[in-house]
Structure 1
Amino acid sequence: MTTDALSPTGRSTIRRGKDRARTDRAELHALLDSAMLCHLGVVLDGVPLVLPTGYGRDGNTLYLHGSSGAASLRAAAGTEVCVSVTELDGIVYARSVFHFSVNYRSAVIHGRAVPVVGDEARLHGLRTLTEHLAPGSWDHARRPDKRELAATRVLALDLTEAAVKIRTGPPSDDEADLGTPGVWAGVLPLRRTWGEPEPCPLLPADAEAPAHVQSRTGPTA
């Protein structure tokens, strides 16, 4: 279902491969809901730093978190950051090495990472993160206590300024190479699959994985 359109700014305008740009914000939301990790770009002591991290989305807000003592999170709080998310869907084999590529879905988000304050708001952000990475866990496991909450920094990033780029389909070979004998061309799709749950060795022997864990086994993409 179409929601509202992305409105590119100077830094979120796709200039290379414009035909792969997407303008429907629903495609941004779908990618963020599908992926598990993002890369957070900050400047720390005058040097760029890119960190892989988990996240969660609620509407048009992306939540990030980390240790309150982490220098990277302190540097990100209240400043302009860049977040990227990529899902690899396949390797594109072409008749010419020049035209080898990948099928992918990607997003780049620019904005100010706003510190989330107040216990209720921070717990909401942490619930959003938890339910994105491990659905069903917020109501199953113990929630953060005051000490744990104090040790955790939560940041909120508005999703208004974002670019989405997607490649699908076969290789784009030169016409002169189409008749090359003996050279295979096509796409090798990539599928992500959850394995069987591996219980903690300290669990009682008769403890079974709950339904919200077992339901995730099998293909996810």
Structure 2
Amino acid sequence: MDFIRLQNPHSFTKTIELLRHVLLETGRVDAYILLDRALFKVEQDEKDYRRELEQALCEGTTLDVRSAFHHFGDYSESRDHRNAVNGIDSAMSSIKEDASNILPLQESIDFVKTMKGERRDIGYLRLHTPYTFELTLEMLDFTLTKLRRHRGKELLRKAIEKSEQDAGFQSKFKDVLEKGTTLDIRDVFSEWGTYFAAGGLNHRNAVDAIDSSLHLLRCNAVGIQTLRESLEL
């Protein structure tokens, strides 16, 4: 069995969704942030780069994956960059093995957790935000600003404005930021767009930016990785 020969039958959008899931579940914050940076580059209407990234993830080899992320670091020279790229490459291998009925995706995730000595229940969906609602909003705004995720920052602003006017929405918003899952986050922002709608890339990227930033806050809270370390990657 050679990873290079395995095929990825998923669409680009589905591949990104699966990648996010695997990277979050296995605690690969460095790789998750690198993927987020690549999607931000796509978001800047760089059609050529979207084609490059899509080809690498949907049809490419390990070398293609390394090449697609060379805009963000030197694979040979930077250990941090190399580890992040390898995290994405490894996640892609798990996705392809699952699609080829070689090894179920959840078993791959559980194996990585076992090798890292983590509890099986430390996955992203079970992490909570321990901060107050106001502090969470402040930290989210700071993180989105540092990551230059302007669409995410604007979408967060709209939700904050609505929460100030609608007590019911504020209660739901607080609950999602405290203990909501990725699906809950997509739902709470659905008033401003449909996540999987055709032509809805901008809304999807904005929601994903908030989702990933909230994950960084949760990782910071439980000591997986400090927010400063995450933002410096």
Normalised to the residue count of structure 2, the TM-score between the two structures is 0.22
Larger strand share, 1 or 2: 1
Larger helix share, 1 or 2: 2
Normalised to the residue count of structure 1, the TM-score between the two structures is 0.23
**Structure with max Cα Rg:** 1
